[in-house]
Amino acid sequence: MRRGPGWTANLLALPEATVAVRGRDVPVRARLVEGSERAEIWAAFVAMARSYQAYEQRCARNLRLFLLDPVHAADIPALGTGGCRGSGEHLPGAAAPSAVSAR
C-alpha cells in the first residue's frame, strides 16, 4: 500500500489543527477513523461525493479519513441544519487538505 499525502502524516503526528468554517477559524482535534467505523462513514461520504470512490480505487490505497472534533463548542459558528449540535460532535463534511493547518 502506498503512503498517504504528507498533510495526513502531519495530522497523525500532531492532531491539533485549525479549519475554516463560514469564515471563522475553528480549533479542532483530528482522529483517524479505521475499521468498521471508517467503512460506515466512508459509505455515507461517497454517497454524497462519488468521485472519491473512483479516486481511492485509482490510488490503490485506502484514503485516510479523519473526524475533526471542535476543541471548544463556543468556537463553532452556527451552521444551520445538518451542522454541529454541540461539544463532542464532529464538524460536518470532509476537510480538504488546504483547509487544514497544523497548529
- Does residue 90 carry a pLDDT above 60? no
Low-confidence winner among 14-23, 35-44, 47-56 (lowest mean pLDDT): 47-56
Provide the percentage of residues in the chain whose pLDDT is more than 70. 68
- Is position 55 within any domain? no
- Does residue 87 carry a pLDDT above 50? no
Mapped to the 3 state alphabet, what secondary structure does 42-56 carry? HHHHHHHCCHHHHHH
- Is position 92 within any domain? yes
Average pLDDT over residues 41-49: 90
- Is position 51 within any domain? no
- Is position 30 within any domain? yes
- Is position 90 within any domain? yes
At residue 36, the 3 state secondary structure works out as helix
The C-alpha cell at 53 is 470512490
Question: Range of 73's domain?
Answer: 6-34+64-102
The predicted model scores a pTM of 0.64
- Is position 41 within any domain? no
Q: How many domains does the chain have?
A: 1
